[in-house]
Structure 1
Amino acid sequence: MSLLLARTNAEAHLYMELQPCGTCGATEFHPRSSVVMAEGDLASRYHGACPNCGTEREYTFRIPEDIIFPEADRVRFGADEPSELLDPGDWLWVADLYTRHTPADPGGLPDADRARFGRDLATAVAAIEEVLKFVPAGADQVPPEAFFSERGREVYATEPGRFRAARLKAVEYAYRELAEGFLG
């Protein structure tokens, strides 16, 4: 089996955060990283011990030919192609996670909270952008066969209508507007 592509460091780190330790189930993981050759490809290797139980964990991802560097004013997980690491249900779950406790109005919040919620909303926007990459050209929704993870299939099964392109675009727009309100 060939290595999966991590389109950006942000995508690789998010993927690792969503993978619980096989021994204790903890999701906290602070790996060391290196660039290696693996299966004939340039790859990123992340490894380290689970801070909870000490079990060694390791992930190796193919590096894209065209590197996407982080931008100071935007969260971005990948280029135009859909993720190989996370399916559309995973991405929608991430967007939900980042917006779950975000207030609708930044008024009255301390600057640090406004900035934190703004970054969370910007991350949610990027996650919704990732879901939209799974909508085939000319289609109006993410097809059921795009879901390959257990979490992703559960999210889809709970409410498949959330994966219609028009609804996703409306949510993306709303989150983007909210983020701008928090970040000013």
Structure 2
Amino acid sequence: MQILRIDSAVTGENSVSRELTQALADHFAAKNPGATLIERDLASNPLPHIDAVTTGAIRLPQDAHTPAMQAAFPAERAVLDEFLASDVVIIGAPMYNFTIPSQLKAWLDRLGVPGVTFSYSEAGPKGLAGGRRVIVVSSRGGVYEQDTPFEHQETLIRDFLSFIGVDDPVFIRAEKIGFGPEARAEALADAKAEIAKL
């Protein structure tokens, strides 16, 4: 079994999402002794935003690659293969300015590959990357209901995962982090109680 942990918060030891992704990693490791844990920290080791080279490297057939795309392909494809090889994927997704951190978006961009994680037909898009359990840690300073004007965090992640075939992600929420120390402690305790139920 392989567990993939993705962190994207830039707040280091003060990060709520990192505390909860650690709790999730510990939870699943305890339930699955011998599991392999892969950790990708997108804040300390960010992926570059996609450009013509990186997009071509992961989306075009290899016989259509330029020399620059050929050079970029191994590292770009490794990000996708890491995801596809994982049975459990833990995603730390704090809300930054009503959406996800840009470094997390750069990671998601490596997962949307036609013919690999989704396909198109006359019936519309079909996700091809199901078959893994995805748990998203959603941390927020306030409270944001889905489908409200300021909520572009969970909605984006849920829609993207659905598009590539992950239809049932679990969201562990820690909200009201910005309301003070007591609210933060309560949010963490509630989120950890939810993790214990998984």
- Per the normalisation by structure 1, the TM-score is 0.29
- Per the normalisation by structure 2, the TM-score is 0.28
Q: Which has the higher strand share?
A: 2
